[in-house]
Chains A and B, each alone.
Chain A
Amino acid sequence: MKLVTAIIKPYKLDEVKDALKGAGLAGLTIDEVRGFGRQGGHTETYRGAEYAVDFLPKVRIEIVVADPDVDRIVDVIVAAARTGKIGDGKVWVTDIAKLVRIRTGELDADAV
Chain B
Amino acid sequence: MDSGNTAWMLIATALVLFMTPGLAFFYGGMVRAKNVLGMLMQNFFAMGLLAVIWAVLAFSLAFGDFGNGGLIGNLDFVGLRDVATGLGPAAMKLSIPFVLFCAYQMTFAIITPALITGATADRLKFSAYAVFIGVWVVVVYAPVAHWVFAGGWLAKLGALDFAGGAVVHINAGAAALALILVLGKRLGWPRDAMHPHSLPLTMLGTGILWFGWFGFNAGSALAADGVAAMAAMNTFLAASAGMLGWVAVEKLKDGKPTTLGAASGAVAGLVAITPCAGFVGGLSPIAIGTIAGVVCFLAIQLKYRLGYDDALDVVGVHLVGGLAGALLLGFFADSAVNAAVVDPGVFLGGGFTLLGYQAVASISVLAFSLVVSLALAKAIDMAIGLRVSKEDEMNGLDLSQHAENAYAFDDLGSMGRIG
Contacts and interface: CB of A to CB of B under 8 A. Distances in A.
Contact of B417 (A11, A14, A34, A50): A50
B383 interface: no
B404 A51 contact: no
A22 B413 CA distance: 36
A31 B413 CA distance: 17
Interface in B364-419: 394-395, 399, 403-405, 412-419
Contact of B418 (A11, A14, A36, A52): A52
A43 B418 CA distance: 9
B255 interface: no
B394 A11 contact: yes
A52 to B, nearest CB: 5
Contacts of B414: 52-55
Contact of A44 (B188, B192, B405): B405
Interface in A20-56: 34, 36, 42-46, 49-55
A52 B394 contact: no
A14 B188 contact: yes
A62 B206 CA distance: 41
Contacts of B399: 42, 44
B310 to A, nearest CB: 22
B413 A44 contact: no
A2 B375 CA distance: 58
Given A42-B399, A43-B403, A44-B403, A51 B418 contact: yes
Contact of A51 (B188, B192, B412, B417): B417
B404 A50 contact: no
Given A43-B403, A44-B405, A52 B415 contact: yes
Interface of B: 188, 192, 394-395, 399, 403-405, 412-419
Interface of A: 11, 14, 34, 36, 42-46, 49-55
Nearest 9 A/B pairs, CB to CB? A55-B413, A50-B419, A11-B394, A45-B403, A51-B415, A54-B414, A52-B418, A44-B403, A52-B416
Given A34-B413, A44-B403, A52-B418, 8 more contacts: A36-B413, A42-B403, A45-B404, A50-B417, A50-B419, A51-B417, A53-B415, A54-B415
